[in-house]
Chains A and B, each alone.
Chain A
Amino acid sequence: MSLKVNDLVTEFATRRGVVEALHGISFEVGENEVVGIVGESGSGKSTVVRSVIRLLVPPGRVASGTVEFAGRPLLELRESELRAIRGKDIGFIAQNPFSALNPVLRLEKQFANIAKAHGVKADDGARRRAVDLLAATGVSDPERVIRGYAHELSGGMAQRVVIAMALYLNPRLVIADEPTTALDLTVQRQVLDTLRRLTVESGRSMLIVTHDLGVVNAYCQRVLVMYKGSIVEQGRVAEVFTAPQHPYTASLLSSASPPIEPAEAEVVPSQPLEVATWPSSK
Chain B
Amino acid sequence: MAALVLPDLDVDPRTLGDGEAALTAFLRGLPGVDRVGNERRAAQLATRSLKQDTKRALIDLAIRTVDLTTLEGADTPARVRSLCARALRPDPADAEVPPVAAVCVYPDLVATAAEAVAGSSVRVAAVATAFPSGRASRTVKLTDTREAVAAGADEIDMVIDRGAFLSGRYGAVADEIRAVKEVCGDAHLKVILETGELATYDNVRRASWLALIAGADTIKTSTGKVSPAATHPVALVMLQAVRDFHLMTGEPRGVKVAGGIRTTKDALRHLVLVNETVGADWLTPDRYRIGASGLLTDLLLQRQKLRTGVYGSADRVTLD
Q: A and B bound?
A: no
Q: B-contacting residues of A (Cβ < 8 Å)? A: none
Q: A-contacting residues of B (Cβ < 8 Å)? A: none
